[in-house]
A and B are shown apart, each in its own frame.
Chain A
Amino acid sequence: MSNPFSMNGGAVVAMVGKDCVAIGCDLRLGMQALTVSNNFPKIFSYGDAYLGLTGLATDVTTMSELFRYKVNMYRLREERDIEPETMANLVSSTLYERRFGPYFVSPVIAGINQRTGKPFICGFDSIGCIDFAKDFIVSGTASDQLFGTCESLWEPDLEPEDLFETCAQALLNAVDRDALSGWGAHVYVITKDKIIKRLLKGRQD
């Protein structure tokens, strides 16, 4: 009950491949050890940028809707989609605005920059410090397990299908060793001209 980051549970992972990125999340929503829902996706799409949010579920929902509003306003002003890099700075400054009363979330961004064609991923702490990674980003209650699986399964320049398999296996095996995550998963594989969203069953216990 004391740590807001682990009250509801959840896991998100993002990976870079060759001209592609993947981002995946589990589907569990819990209250402590009690599972309340097995259909609570933690990845939200904002045009070219995909945002994964783990942490306190109420903040996950609040933030996803706050960014929907902010990204829509950005699109009206600029008359174009937000770039993943810009989205990263928007998330960062939004979180830092609440420096002394933070949202209890650990966001992850994945996307391909449509202008440059470059894959982009990054992660944040709850007050907006950005972690630009060239390989993968993990977050949530299964982050230890995800670090282990990602560090040993991931390799550079994976093709989209191989990246999907790597990301899915890293996520599934990690959440199976975390009591607060799991109950199915969503994995997005994003290339410049195609996005594939797959729903994975996973262990239901």
Chain B
Amino acid sequence: MSFLATPSYPQQNVPGGEPTQRHGFNPYADNGGSIIGIAGDDFLIMAGDTRHTAGYNINSRTERKVYRLGEESSLVLATVGFGADAKWLADTMKRAVDVCFPRLSMMKDFKFQHNLKDMTVSAAAQFLFTILYGNRFFPKYAYCILGGLDKNGKARLFSYDPVGSYSKEGERRAAAGAASSLIVPFLDNQVEFKNQYVPGTQGMTERPVEYLPLEKVEMLVKDAFTSATERHIEVGDGLQMVIVSAQHGVREEIIELKRD
């Protein structure tokens, strides 16, 4: 049985021999689209387009990217990147903070384990980090923006990379996805007033940053997406906006974007 001792490897394209074939499987895809989140003082808007693409193909014109994490909760999660991973993250987050177990009705994961208290935004933010970093060596290929109101009714916003990096202080505005490079400089300028100076100060005094009113933020979100739709092929069809307000609760709105 000496032939067993000699290892035999498949030969790589030996001249005159059979050509070998390499097999590959790519577990990721890029499904396009963009999301943004802007926080006001006591409200926030999370938005995303509703186009779902694969290369030059459009899989869906009505696929939402912004998820509410629970009926009573102010938590909202927006995800882009690989659609399947994005949805998995949203489902996992939903299950953690809200969804009932079928067998034990009314029993919610977090509430059950935490003395019937709702999960706070900062807790949800840290939890999302744990989920993402837990997949550090086979990452969920999705960029996340998480938003909600804290216990004082103030808006909080967090943005993540696929392996979980985020800032605990939160941010004023965030954008991710295919058209983020188009949207971010616009938001720098219009939300944080970058490169703007107080008139008459010879460019010495920067325009102070202030919280914007809801109507203004809604306008900026629409402008950002109509512009991105105009210049990016993976963005378009519809704009889903989830508006979380301390006074008026949560409202969802979908408006049309160009479908070309």
- Do residues B231 and A147 form an inter-chain contact, with CB atoms below 8 A? yes
- Do residues B185 and A174 form an inter-chain contact, with CB atoms below 8 A? yes
CA distance A201 to B224 in the complex (A): 27
Judged by a CB distance under 8 angstroms, whether A169 is at the interface is: yes
Interface of A is mostly: helix
- Name B180-204 residues within 8 Å CB distance of A: 181-186, 188-189, 194-196, 203
Q: Which residues of B contact A113 (CB under 8 A)?
A: none
Q: Which residues of A contact B185 (CB under 8 A)?
A: 145, 148-149, 173-174, 176-177
Instruction: For A148, give its contact among B181, B195, B203 (CB under 8 Å).
Output: B181
Q: Which residues of A contact B120 (CB under 8 A)?
A: none
CA distance A149 to B181 in the complex (A): 10
Interface of B is mostly: helix
Q: Which residues of B contact A173 (CB under 8 A)?
A: 185-186, 188-189, 194-195
- Name B191-224 residues within 8 Å CB distance of A: 194-196, 203, 223-224
Q: Which residues of A contact B228 (CB under 8 A)?
A: 148, 151
Judged by a CB distance under 8 angstroms, whether A36 is at the interface is: no
- Do residues A152 and B194 form an inter-chain contact, with CB atoms below 8 A? no
Judged by a CB distance under 8 angstroms, whether A153 is at the interface is: yes
- Do residues A151 and B181 form an inter-chain contact, with CB atoms below 8 A? no
Q: How many interface contacts (CB-CB < 8 Å) are there between A and B? A: 53
CA distance A177 to B186 in the complex (A): 10
Q: Which residues of B contact A176 (CB under 8 A)?
A: 185, 188, 194-195
Chain B, Cβ-Cβ closest to A152: B227
- Do residues B186 and A147 form an inter-chain contact, with CB atoms below 8 A? no
CB distance from B98 to the nearest CB of A (A): 35
- Do residues A147 and B195 form an inter-chain contact, with CB atoms below 8 A? no
- Do residues A177 and B188 form an inter-chain contact, with CB atoms below 8 A? yes
Chain A, Cβ-Cβ closest to B182: A148
Closest 9 CB pairs of A and B: A148-B182, A151-B227, A152-B227, A144-B181, A173-B185, A173-B189, A172-B195, A147-B231, A177-B185
Interface residues of B (CB under 8 A from A): 179, 181-186, 188-189, 194-196, 203, 223-224, 227-228, 230-231
Interface residues of A (CB under 8 A from B): 144-145, 147-149, 151-153, 169, 172-174, 176-177, 201-202
Q: List 26 A-B contacts (CB under 8 A).
A: A144-B182, A145-B184, A145-B185, A148-B184, A148-B186, A148-B227, A148-B228, A148-B231, A149-B189, A151-B182, A151-B230, A151-B231, A152-B224, A153-B186, A172-B195, A173-B185, A173-B188, A173-B189, A174-B185, A176-B185, A176-B188, A176-B194, A176-B195, A177-B184, A177-B188, A201-B203
